[in-house]
């Protein structure tokens, strides 16, 4: 058949195989982008926000304690500004929040790179699709 001749062409077969691979790469890139986006919107942002809330709460406590010490100082009492029961907790909260923020920033970067790759793959895919269509047209005009 005429259609059989077209699909039997080495050029068409080669282009079709390349297109299938390209479509598979696009599908995988889309899945990766979706997974990264879900992480950005899900657990990773929740972890970051929880770390920041904890940090803010400890800063509020530290601030209250300092206000109290200033009041004591103003009333003539001697005050030890070096000791702070919250200081170690606060350091740890800063560390956890910084770590969560770094992880989130890394994830944002990965997501951006993934989106770029996905766009490249989609462009490659559409070029292959056009090449395949062109090859089919040329074969039709020959037969």
In the predicted model, what is the mean pLDDT of residues 9-17? Answer: 86
pLDDT at 10 over 80: yes
Per residue, the 3-state secondary structure of 10-34, as one string, reads HHHHHHHHHHHHHHHHHHHHHHHHH
Of 2-11, 38-47, 50-59, give the lowest mean pLDDT range.
Answer: 2-11
- What is the pTM (predicted TM-score) of this model? 0.61
- Write out pLDDT tens, residues 75-131: 988 877 777 777 788 888 888 889 988 988 998 999 999 999 999 999 999 999 998
Residue 33 structure tokens: 């982008």
The DSSP code sequence of 48-84 is: HHHHHHHHHHHHHHHHHHHHHHHHHHHTT----SS--
Q: What percent of the chain has pLDDT over 90?
A: 19
CATH number at residue 106: 1.10.287
Count of domains forming the chain: 1
Q: pLDDT at position 2, please?
A: 45
Cβ-Cβ contacts under 8 Å for 86 (sequence gap 6 or more): 58, 61, 62, 65
Measured CA to CA, the distance from residue 88 to residue 96 in angstroms comes to 12
Domain coverage including residue 90: 2-142
């Amino acid at each position: 058949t005429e259609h059989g001749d077209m699909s039997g062409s080495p050029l068409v077969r080669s282009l079709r195989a390349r297109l299938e691979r390209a479509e598979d790469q696009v599908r995988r890139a889309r899945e990766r982008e979706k997974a990264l986006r879900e992480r950005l919107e899900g657990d990773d942002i929740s972890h970051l926000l929880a770390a920041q809330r904890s940090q803010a709460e400890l800063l509020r406590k530290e601030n209250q304690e300092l206000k109290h010490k200033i009041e004591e100082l103003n009333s003539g009492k001697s005050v030890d500004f070096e000791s702070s029961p919250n200081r170690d907790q606060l350091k740890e909260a800063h560390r956890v929040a910084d770590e969560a923020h770094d992880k989130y920033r890394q994830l944002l970067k990965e997501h951006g790179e993934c989106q770029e790759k996905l766009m490249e793959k989609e462009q490659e895919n559409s070029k292959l699709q056009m090449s395949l269509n062109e090859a089919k047209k040329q074969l039709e005009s020959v037969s």
